[in-house]
Chain A
Amino acid sequence: MSTILKTHDINKFFYEPTEFQVLKNIEFEVQKGEFLSMIGKSGSGKSTLLYILSTMDTDYSGQLYIDNKLTTGMSNDALAEIRNEKIGFVFQFHYLLSEFTCLKNIMIPALKLGKLSEQEIEEKAYEKLKMLDMEDQALKPASKLSGGQQQRIAIARALINDPLIIMGDEPTGNLDSKNTDIVFDIFQELTQTYGQTIIAVTHDQDFAEKSDRIIEMIDGRIIRG
């Protein structure tokens, strides 16, 4: 097992409205292939931590290593490249580009990466759609799908560049229980069959219990995990 993500002594303060330490000495490692859930009450700092891990939030002290490389202090452009290549995102809301077809939405991160030809990317996108059982929706506009379907398209988009880590911020927060189960099963299959690493922040106790590992946070500290 190799370490994919590591934090060292991460602290973060909010200054508005008053000074408040939202993360305290966060220290943990994530191994390849782990399905990790982060839970905690709202305000415990779990989402804040996820956005620091995602490299989008750079306003913290301490060190963050992704793929054994220190990302703390890198330029925004360099971080954008890391996100493009190594991280896939699934949010509570799908954030699909409504004017594009599902297929194009899935292809966008790969087109940005530019390592494959457009045709190869399209084939790969179909592959992901097939895995998620969404092939027949490929050419529909993203806005025409149901909530559960949109979330599956968003997952396919997160997978298109074969990222090291998938980060989810309440990935099932907007879904009914049936779709929650579908999304969870997809995540589980990804980790078990494809060795995909997943870090997901969730409110859903059942979802967390079924994952490999739980990190529980209270008041900016990790108390379990």
Chain B
Amino acid sequence: MGINTSISRTYVTSNKKLTAVAVLGVLLGMSVYIFMNSLLVGFDKSATDSIFSSMSHIRVYKDDEISKVLKKDSASNFLIINPKVVPSNNTIINPKMVIETILSLDEVTVVTPQVNASVFYNNGKSQIAGMAYGIIPEEANIMYDIKSTMVDGNLDMLASNPNGIIVGSGIAEKVNLAINDKINLTSSKGINRTFNVVGVFQSKNSQIDDTKSYINLAAAQQLLKEGNTYITDINVNIIDPQQAADVAMKISQITGYNAEGWKEANETMMASFRMRSIVITFVSFTILLVAGFGIYTILNMTVSQKINDIAILKAMGFKGKDVVMIFVTQALTIGAIGVISGVLAAMGMVALMKTVYIGGDVGYFPIDFEPSQFIKGVIIGLVITFFAGYMPARKAANIDPVGILRK
């Protein structure tokens, strides 16, 4: 152990109260920082999980066409002056080939066609408005993990029964449905059809449970009076959901249809994510910074108290960098103790919060051990500690011994 380290260790241990206060500051800053950032990741995870339970990473669809403004070359006299949606079919032409094309991309994991039909669930005279999703059960299950939300019946029954329907728990309650009961649906095209209930699902979102049902793709096409090539949406899941925008652009380029990533489709929600992330990052970083100020103040105090020591050390041949070393080592010692205990405290807090039941759509408190957040916290904590120590150390190194020793 060098003499510099030995001196700084003595300074750390000789004033235990001051050291403890500084360590406590780092501990608090560190644990709150890690806790809040883990919480942020947890929030985002739980929110995206709930998004992906009813939405794919990328949706491929044909957009409405809008008529173009026609006008003469001369200054006035427009032919068409208010553009409107051109009445055309929203079907994707040759969906099989489009699906195969998309599947050939490396990033893509699942591709499945979907037809959504707005329907009324008839219950005697009263009607419940809702949406029936025409799906291919196997593929849709891979994408949305429908099986994990099933509370009654079996998804596999849907595939084997062309008239099968899986309804949301809210619908089941209101229309008083159980397995094997019949329910009549009326589509927006005026088609009436009776389905056999083969299952009931319950998602975390009660609004979805009150309106949504799954039926076979062919049944949905029939409800809309369309043939079996009528596909309005192709849903795509990819390996890394964060890449959705890039892959969507690629898909759009190779297929010619609109492709929209989940972030673009949920712009409002993403904006609130970003806001939450900014606020939490700012607050947690500030707390950590305050801990840094604690170290800075205490180091400054030590430097003032030890000004005679510094002067005599410099007289005896300690260089500026030796003095910097002494005080930076002291700061880093405090920082390291604070960081380690802060990490332990954060682990305790996360473990405790994980067991807290919130209820509603959320369930348990959405937090987990996020190694990346722990690592980030430790690095930022040590960097702040270093600079909080370096500034007073620099000041100490620049002390002119003559001015002090000549008193």
Contacts and interface: CB of A to CB of B under 8 A. Distances in A.
Nearest to B322: A112
A56 B3 contact: no
Contacts of A76: 319-320
A24 to B, nearest CB: 20
A54 B315 contact: yes
Interface residues of A, number: 27
Contact of A81 (B317, B402, B406, B407): B317
A206 interface: no
B402 A112 contact: no
A83 B318 CA distance: 9
Contacts of B14: 99
Given A57-B402, A97-B309, A99-B14, A112 B315 contact: no
B402 A95 contact: no
Interface stretch (A84-92, A190-198, A211-219): A84-92
A112 B318 contact: yes
B10 interface: yes
Contacts of B312: 89, 91, 95, 97
A84 B317 CA distance: 4
Interface in B350-407: 401-402, 405-407
Interface in A65-114: 76-77, 80-85, 89, 91, 93, 95, 97, 99-100, 108-109, 111-113
16 contacts: A77-B320, A80-B314, A80-B317, A80-B318, A81-B317, A84-B317, A84-B318, A85-B317, A89-B316, A93-B308, A95-B311, A100-B10, A112-B3, A113-B317, A169-B405, A169-B406
Interface string A98-142: 011000000011011100000000000000000000000000000
A47 interface: yes
Contacts of A169: 405-406
Interface string B306-330: 0011011111111111100000000
A80 B315 CA distance: 7
Interface of B: 2-3, 6-7, 10-11, 14, 308-309, 311-322, 401-402, 405-407
Contacts of A13: none
Given A47-B406, A93-B308, 4 more contacts: A80-B318, A81-B317, A91-B312, A111-B6
A51 B402 contact: yes
A109 B311 contact: no
Contacts of A82: 317
A95 B311 CA distance: 9
A83 to B, nearest CB: 5
Contacts of B11: 99
A100 B312 CA distance: 14
A77 B321 CA distance: 9
Contacts of B313: 108
Contacts of A47: 406
A83 B319 CA distance: 10
A173 B26 CA distance: 46
B317 A109 contact: yes
Contacts of B407: 93
A89 B402 CA distance: 12
A99 B317 contact: no
Contact of A83 (B7, B311, B317): B317
Contact of A111 (B3, B315, B319, B321): B3
Contacts of A108: 3, 7, 313, 316
Contacts of B318: 80, 84, 112
A145 B163 CA distance: 100
A56 B316 contact: no
